[in-house]
Amino acid sequence: MDFTSFLTSLGTSFLIFLVLMIVFAFLSSKPGNNVVYYPNRILKGLDPSEGGPKSRNPFSWIKEAMSSSERDIVAMSGVDTAVYFVFLTTVLGILVLSGVILLPVLLPLSATDNAVKRQDGKAQTTSKGTFNELDKLSMANITARSSRLWGFLIACYWVSIVTFVLLWRAYKHVSWLRAEALKSPDVRPQQFAIVVRDIPNATQGQTKKEQVDTYFKAIYPEAFYRSMIVTDNKVVNKTWESLEGFKKKLARAEAVYERSKTTAKPEGTRPTNKTGFLGLIGEKVDSIDYYNDKINELVTKLESEQKVTLREKQQDAALVFFSSRVVAASAAQSLHAQMVDTWSVFDAPEPSQLIWPNLKIKYFQRELRQYLVYVIVALTIFFYMIPITFISAFTTLDNLVKYLPFIKPIVRIKALRTVLEAYLPQLALIIFLALLPKLLLFLSKFEGIPTESHAVRAASGKYYYFIVLNVFIGVTIGGTLFKAFHRIQENPNINEIASLLAESLPGNATFFLTYVALKFFVGYGLELSRIVPLIIYHLKRKYLCKTEAELKEAWQPGDLGYATRVPADMLIVTIVFCYSVIAPVIIPFGVLYFGLGWLVLRNQALKVYVPTYESYGRMWPHIHKRVLASLILYQITMFGYFGAQKFYYTPLVLPLPFLSLIFGFVCGKKFYPAFEHPALEVAANPLKEPPNMELIFRSFIPPSLSSEKIEDERFEDALSSVSRRTAV
């Protein structure tokens, strides 16, 4: 990429962002678009256009975002979202404090040396249009063995120390946030329950329910309330989903019928449908009558299957409820049996978070599945690296013209060529990565993970290692090796390869500079403007939605999507860390990415996204470890680069990775236990009212097993005599 292409990339990206911001200001002021730009406020019963939509300007959202407090974020989007902003603020602080020292110190050191000029035999100037002129602002322009390298070595220590200090402060703050949320005097059902897995076989003449009740009643005689045996709900879930589907179809048919009534034809036209495959074949029937008949049929079938499920499909897992949240917190972190593979427990999540099919999976089966998934992910990473390496090497116009000669006429158009050179490799990489997250989430659930939030964290970790190993390392090594393949062939010794890496690593910063710019300008511009969700909503509203429920479903915004958003941010952290000393000009790009992200996502968290679960900041230890992993990769990279520069004092970099490991170990020992289980002193905080244990119990009943007429008799085999007596 030449210098003109790089400037074109930055300029067009910035222009696109400005246009999208103006589009956002215009479209968000239209009342008909409120459900797209303010769904979070609407669902909470607040005025969607607070501040007056007619007075909005393209920059008013910035003032609103910056004036919001952490308390506002917690109130609108929960603790998990507030913790995510702690992460953005921490990384932004690390980059700003690093840049304050690195930019004024390292740039002059690089610019006043002349290694690039000596290597090429002549000076490179921007007038020749080569982007390599910017190598003079990186370590590529530092002469091997130069004493100037001391400045870069000290900079490595500065970045590491700043990271340690700010991560420590962030961990303390997130711990406080989590404790304050868990201290809440409000009654939360999950704080009065635990999940029990690996229940051993019951003795002869004893039901599974009586076994669980007797066991926990003996251990917690005062606080034990009742238990609920987990059942295999596969069949009943299918029937319930069919019933809900026919209810939606009935509501839709009735809405269509009502709309057909006009002054000229007050009786209207009753809708019809065919009963065969996809409604395309079969007998033609009256839709309203047909759906009513199917609903009545399925209601009877559902009640029958509910009874069969509760009596005959009990699994080796249960939920146990306590009348005290202190006892529940204590039970969740206690060893209940001598053998690790029996009576294993963990604190209950929100009822909607439970992955019910995974609760029955046995201990050793979970362990086996976990290692199997690790192998599959490792193979996926390895085989994905091959195409990503080829993408980084061949998605340049020169290579594409060579292998696809028919595009030569297009490439000859100067303006189009400049744009393609600026965006082609980055767009190819972004599209390629979009195919992966669902596979990783599926694999995480396959491990036997019991909650949605835990599955998201696991998928996020897998995605992080994938994009770091494939995108960062794959693109860097792939680009380097393909650019100088013939040079390695001619002289394939280790010194030549190390020298090549030392010369080429700063040059790869050009790809990542453009990649980061594309992400924060175009990515956050699209995020703010919500063009795609807006178009989809209006198309559905015009052509598909007939009922209020369908309309509401069309504008449901979802959550922030931590499974992909956090790893994507971590990739930027890794890139900026690893190039912060080698090519300090990347630091302002990182600052822009996290600063602009903080502003845009602040607006989205307050007005758009609705969290699907609340884990009270349990994502933070995962984030903390990945930031440290990125820091260690940066320190190892610098050790190798100083060695390639033949710096005599390279071993002085070696303590840094060990200091990072020690820091991570200390943080884990000090802070992590309170994230794994709620502290008892937190759980002991008084409640503003006594808990309604019956409501807490029923909040965990799966939708497919509940009905409008809930009676204990329906759970006669799911509630033993012990628990019924306790309930009374």
Q: Which two tokens stand for residue 77?
A: 């989007």
DSSP-derived secondary structure for 10-53: HHHHHHHHHHHHHHHHHHTTSGGGHHHHSHHHHHTT--TTTT-G
547 plus 572 within the same structural domain: yes
First-to-last alpha carbon distance for the chain, in angstroms, is 76
Half-sphere exposure of 550 (CA within 13 A, CB side): 20
For residue 595, how many other CB atoms are within 10 A of its CB?
Answer: 17
**Residues 377, 398 share a domain:** yes
**pLDDT below 50 — which residues of the chain?**
51-55, 120-131, 494, 497-499, 501-502, 710-714, 716-717, 719-728
680 plus 546 within the same structural domain:
yes
Q: Nearest-CA neighbor of 576 among 649, 494, 513, 637?
A: 513
DSSP state of 696: H
- Residue 640: closest CA among 473, 512, 475, 490: 473
| Residue 98 half-sphere exposure toward CB, CA atoms < 13 A | 36
Q: Are residues 392 and 530 in the same domain?
A: no
Q: What is the pLDDT of residues 64-84, one digit of tens each?
A: 889 999 999 999 999 999 999
Q: Identify whether the C-beta of residue 587 lies closer than 8 Å to the C-beta of residue 137.
A: no
Please indicate, yes or no, if residue 457 is contained in any of the structural domains. no
Residues 263 and 218 both lie in one domain: yes
- In a domain? residue 392: yes
The residue type found at 213 is: D
Q: How far apart are CA 221 and CA 223, in angstroms?
A: 6
Strands across the sheet with 314-322, in order?
A: 224-231, 314-322, 193-197, 344-347
Task: List all residues 6 or more positions away from 564 whose beta carbon is below 8 Å from its beta carbon.
Answer: 437, 460, 463
Q: Find all residues with CB under 8 Å of 341, minimum gap 6, and list them.
A: 198, 362, 363, 364
Q: Is 559 part of any domain?
A: no
Q: Is 28 found in the same domain as 143?
A: yes
Q: What domain count does the chain have? A: 3
Specify whether the CB–CB gap between 501 and 644 falls below 8 A: yes
Residue 358 lies in a domain: no
**What is the residue type of 138?**
S
DSSP string, 396-429: SHHHHHHH-GGGHHHHTSHHHHHHHHHHHHHHHH
User: Is residue 282 situated within a structural domain?
Assistant: yes
Residue 59's pLDDT is what?
73
- Residue 190, CA distances (Å) to 182, 232, 696 in order: 11, 21, 8
Say if 478 falls within a structural domain: no
Domain assignment of residue 603, yes or no: yes
> Which pLDDT value is given to residue 226?
93
- Residue tagged 């429920």 (tokens): 549
Phi, psi (deg, nearest 5) at residue 229 = -75, 135
Tokens of 403: 């292998």
Q: Which helix (H) or strand (E) holds 185?
A: none
Say whether both 640 and 723 belong to one domain. Answer: no
Q: Give pTM, 2 decimals.
A: 0.85
Residue-range definition of the domain harbouring residue 395: 363-447
Same-domain check for residues 200 and 287:
yes
In the structure encoding, which two tokens stand for residue 597, read together?
A: 């992200």
The radius of gyration computed from the CA coordinates of the chain, to the nearest angstrom, equals 30
Spatial contact of 624 and 167, defined as CB atoms under 8 Å apart: yes
Q: Do 38 and 113 belong together in one domain? A: yes
CB of 141 closer than 8 Å to CB of 124: no
Q: Do 658 and 715 fall within a single domain? A: no
Predicted local confidence at residue 493, as pLDDT: 54
**From CA 649, how far away is CA 153, in angstroms rounded?**
9
Quote the CA–CA distance of 394 and 383 in Å, as a whole number.
17
Tell me: do 131 and 28 sit in the same domain.
yes
Tell me how far apart the alpha carbons of residues 523 and 604 are, in angstroms, rounded to a whole number. 14
> What is the residue type of 280?
L
Do residues 293 and 343 both lie within one domain? Answer: yes
What b/e string do you get for 399-427 counting C-beta neighbours within 10 Å, with b at 16 or more? ebbeeeeeeeeebeeeeeebebbbbbbbe
In a domain, 456, yes or no: no
Last residue of a domain, one of 406, 430, 447: 447
